[in-house]
């Protein structure tokens, strides 16, 4: 039997309150604004390689806002929308994508761990973080995210199994955007829905329309509640699509058609929610203009902040390898600080 794909938008259903709906819309719109600006900055040479998330805002924001401020997110590298929704300041995120050291130390109040490149390794780590919260009586829930390709990695399976065995309070979000860079889902696995795998671990698996933020949010809330009550983890599969390339170095025209992209563009999660909000009389042109004005202003301010970050120095290379430098780091630090490492080449 095929799992049911949960969906509210386009059916005239509105399962959440006004305030929540507007918060979801603002967070998605803000994230999209960032994504568009980030691509521009990258083309100007003011950002390094960047992984856009355009099209996946609903999946990321829906889960991020379903969590409490005391909960944690353990994201993958495409989860900038999730990080923004969790309160990571824009200038820190810009510095992160500039590969500037100042962007790699997230502020203490932000309960998000740094995203990183290796695939699926965050899954067992998220389980550990969740168990730590339970052990300490802090009761935080962990939301962690992975792509469809990542579910082929061993760590995905080890992590899910650990979470199931220990009843870990984790929500596993799979953003199934159809491609692992260029390899389509059909070439990645023989199951039709990744959420089916949940049964193999003895945990609930749920499929949602990943471009329907109401569906993501409602189901994520249920999963968070289950986790918080000690009922264990949930696998949440969000069917979605990235409208942009895998990274700024990728050319998606080599592996997918314009028609396919256009079809998904019509399911844009932001436009869909906006339409629903307008139908409810909760949103309109004026509100949109005002929001965009706010975002423009905020972004300009944050870019300026990022630009003010001091130039990193070479000795930063060997800082923070250990809590205290060992003799080898100390020696390198002195050489780097004095520029002596350059002389060594000659």
Partner 1 sequence: MVAEKARVLNLVQAINEALDLALARDERVLVFGEDVGQLGGVFRVTEGLQAKYGEKRVFDTPLAESGILGLAIGLAMGGLRPVAEIQFAGFLYPALDQILSHLGRWRHRSRGRVGLPVVVRAPYGGGVHTPEQHADSPEALLAHTPGVKVVIPSSPERAKGLLLSAIEDEDPVFFLEAIKLYRGVRAEVPEGYYTLPLGKARVVREGRHATLIGYGGMVEVMQEAASVAAKEGVEVMVVDLETLVPLDEETLLEAVRETGRAVVVYEAMRTGGFGAEIAARIAEGAIEYLKAPVVRVAGYDAPYPPFGAIEHHYRPNARRVLAALRRVLTY
Query: What residues line the site for partner 1 (CB under 8 A)?
Result: 74, 101-102, 104-106, 108, 113-114, 116-118, 121, 123-133, 135-136, 154-155, 158-159, 161-162, 165, 319-323, 326-328
Shortest distance, CB of residue 131 to partner 1, whole angstroms? 6
Shortest distance, CB of residue 321 to partner 1, whole angstroms? 5
Q: Report the C-alpha gap between 341 and 321 in whole angstroms.
A: 19
Q: Report the C-alpha gap between 50 and 41 in whole angstroms.
A: 10
Closest CA to 38 of 216, 178, 245: 245
Positions marked catalytic: 242, 246, 255
Give residues with Cβ within 8 angstroms of 90, minimum separation 6: 34, 84, 298, 299, 302, 303, 306
Q: Considering beta carbons, is residue 129 or 215 the nearer one to partner 1?
A: 129
Is residue 320 a contact partner of residue 114, using CB atoms and an 8 Å limit? no
Give residues with Cβ within 8 angstroms of 25, minimum separation 6: 213, 270, 273, 274, 277, 283
Q: Considering beta carbons, is residue 3 or 314 the nearer one to partner 1?
A: 314
Closest CA to 230 of 151, 161, 327, 130: 130
What stretch of H or E contains 50? Answer: none
DSSP 7-22: --TTTT---S-HHHHH
Handedness of CA 42, 73, 101, 328 (dihedral sign): negative
Shortest distance, CB of residue 125 to partner 1, whole angstroms? 4
Shortest distance, CB of residue 118 to partner 1, whole angstroms? 4
Q: How is residue 124 written in tokens?
A: 């067992």
Shortest distance, CB of residue 282 to partner 1, whole angstroms? 39
Shortest distance, CB of residue 201 to partner 1, whole angstroms? 11
Q: How is residue 25 written in tokens?
A: 């819309």
Q: Report the C-alpha gap between 321 and 251 in whole angstroms.
A: 36
Q: Considering beta carbons, is residue 121 or 211 the nearer one to partner 1?
A: 121
What stretch of H or E contains 337? Answer: helix 327-337
Q: Considering beta carbons, is residue 214 or 332 the nearer one to partner 1?
A: 332
Q: Considering beta carbons, is residue 56 or 121 the nearer one to partner 1?
A: 121
Is residue 5 a contact partner of residue 209, using CB atoms and an 8 Å limit? yes
Q: What pairing do the DSSP bridges indicate for beta strands 170-176 and 72-74?
A: unpaired
Q: Considering beta carbons, is residue 165 or 290 the nearer one to partner 1?
A: 165
Q: Please report where in the chains the tokens 């995905």 appear, as a residue.
A: 156
């Amino acid at each position: 039997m095929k799992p049911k794909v949960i969906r509210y938008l386009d059916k005239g259903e509105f399962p959440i309150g006004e305030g929540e709906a507007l918060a979801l819309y603002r967070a998605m719109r803000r994230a999209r604004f960032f994504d568009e600006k980030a691509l521009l900055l990258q083309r100007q040479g003011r950002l390094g390689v960047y992984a856009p998330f355009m099209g996946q805002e609903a999946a990321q924001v829906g889960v991020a806002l379903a969590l409490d401020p005391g909960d944690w997110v353990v994201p993958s590298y495409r989860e900038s929308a999730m990080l923004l929704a969790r309160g990571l300041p824009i200038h820190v995120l810009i510095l992160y994508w500039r590969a500037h050291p100042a962007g790699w130390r997230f502020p203490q109040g932000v309960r998000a761990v740094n995203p990183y490149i290796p695939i699926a390794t965050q899954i067992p780590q998220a389980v550990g973080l969740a168990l730590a919260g339970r052990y300490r009586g802090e009761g935080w829930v962990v939301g962690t995210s992975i792509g469809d390709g990542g579910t082929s990695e061993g760590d995905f399976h080890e992590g899910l199994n650990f979470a199931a065995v220990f009843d870990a309070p984790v929500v596993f979000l799979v953003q199934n955007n159809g491609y692992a860079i260029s390899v389509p889902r059909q070439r990645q696995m023989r199951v039709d829905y990744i959420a089916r795998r949940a049964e193999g671990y003895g945990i609930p698996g749920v499929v949602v329309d990943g471009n329907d933020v109401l569906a993501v949010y409602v189901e994520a809330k249920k999963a968070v509640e289950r986790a918080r009550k000690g009922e264990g983890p949930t696998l949440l599969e969000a069917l979605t699509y990235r409208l942009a390339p895998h990274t700024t170095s990728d050319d998606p025209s080599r592996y997918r058609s314009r028609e396919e992209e256009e079809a998904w563009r019509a399911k844009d999660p932001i436009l869909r929610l906006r339409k629903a909000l307008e139908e409810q009389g909760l949103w309109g042109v004026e509100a949109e203009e005002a929001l965009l004005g706010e975002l423009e202003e905020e972004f300009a301010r944050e870019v300026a902040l990022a630009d003010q970050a001091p130039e990193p120095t070479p000795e930063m290379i060997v800082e923070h390898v250990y809590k205290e430098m060992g003799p080898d780091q100390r020696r390198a630090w002195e050489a780097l600080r004095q520029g002596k490492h350059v002389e060594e080449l000659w």
